[in-house]
């Protein structure tokens, strides 16, 4: 089970498969490194709460889901259950849920899992956030490695049930490159959702 959650009235949560660049993104957004609580280096099993600021707000990096080397199936299922429960329990306080994906491989992974007749984790998470009424933003990371940018992003929209072209969905689809420090599209999407939630007081966290 997850440890105690800091008592903050508003938060943005981050979910995604392992290795999509989530910790790189957290560092870029917050200027802080996470502390790794997992026993295995690099594998986080507890949420990382970035609650350094004095405002009643935090960013929360939830553990990576999907395949992780050295983590067995049962443990992975448990992590996913914990993530779902955390988001459900805190839905009222979550201003936005950021689903981080790897722009180069996301569509391929979704399609592979669809063929297995199961709902791919990424798609499931996206709908799950929407069902809870939490604005979902897909941070499509590693775009520096993607050549056919528009085509890739349109395919991703299609898999998420959003009509292409992707440019219609800038509040939802945010192409970024965390490693290059290019996260403006994500910040813009979050600014939109903060504003919609009448939380302009928190815009400084995403400018
Ligand atoms: P996490 O497991 O999701 O927390 O992923 P990490 O932040 O540890 O990143 C996984 C790998 O992807 C590392 O080698 C990063 O340097 C790399 N990475 C992260 N963001 C980007 C990006 O925007 N572009 C590229 N090309 N690599 C990235």
Alpha helices in 20-72 (DSSP H): 22-30
From CA 23, how far away is CA 30, in angstroms rounded?
A: 10
68-120 per-position pLDDT tens digit: 667 788 888 888 899 999 999 999 999 999 999 999 999 998 998 877 667 78
Pairing of strands 57-61, 48-50: antiparallel
Asked if residue 141 has its Cβ within 6 Å of ligand 1, the reply is yes
Cβ–Cβ contacts within 10 Å for residue 14, how many? 25
Q: Which 3 state secondary structure label does DSSP give 84?
A: helix
The tokens describing 131, both together, are 């069902």
pLDDT tens, residue by residue, 29-58: 998 876 544 444 445 678 999 998 999 999
Is any ligand 1 atom within 6 A of the Cβ of residue 23?
yes
* 145 C-beta closer than 6 A to ligand 1: yes
Residue 17 pLDDT > 50, yes or no?
yes
pLDDT grade for 184, boundaries at 50, 70 and 90? very high
The structural domains of the chain, ordered by start, are 10-200 (3.40.50.300)
Query: What does the alpha-carbon distance between residue 43 and residue 59 come to, in Å, rounded to a whole number?
Result: 18
Region 59-70: what's the mean pLDDT? Answer: 81
CA dihedral 140, 6, 48, 89 (to 10 degrees): -60
Q: How far apart, in whole angstroms, are the C-alpha atoms of residue 40 and residue 64? A: 13
Query: If you average pLDDT over every residue of the chain, what do you get?
Result: 90
């Amino acid at each position: 089970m997850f440890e105690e959650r800091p008592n903050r009235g508003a938060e943005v949560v981050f979910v995604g498969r392992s290795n999509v660049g989530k910790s790189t993104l957290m560092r870029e957004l917050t200027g802080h490194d996470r502390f790794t609580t997992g026993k295995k280096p690099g594998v986080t099993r507890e949420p990382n709460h970035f609650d350094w600021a004095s405002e009643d707000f935090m960013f929360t990096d939830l553990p990576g889901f999907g395949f992780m080397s050295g983590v067995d199936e049962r443990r992975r299922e448990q992590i996913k259950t914990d993530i779902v429960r955390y988001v459900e329990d805190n839905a009222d306080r979550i201003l936005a849920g950021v689903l981080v994906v790897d722009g180069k491989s996301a569509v391929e992974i979704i399609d592979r899992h669809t063929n297995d007749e199961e709902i791919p984790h990424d798609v499931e998470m996206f709908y799950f956030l929407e069902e809870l009424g939490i604005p979902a933003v897909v941070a499509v990371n590693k775009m520096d490695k993607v050549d056919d940018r528009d085509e890739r992003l349109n395919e991703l929209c299609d898999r998420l049930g959003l009509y292409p072209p992707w440019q219609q969905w800038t509040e939802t689809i945010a192409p970024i490159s965390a490693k290059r420090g290019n996260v403006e599209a994500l910040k813009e999407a979050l600014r939109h959702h903060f504003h919609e939630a009448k939380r302009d007081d928190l815009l400084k966290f995403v400018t």
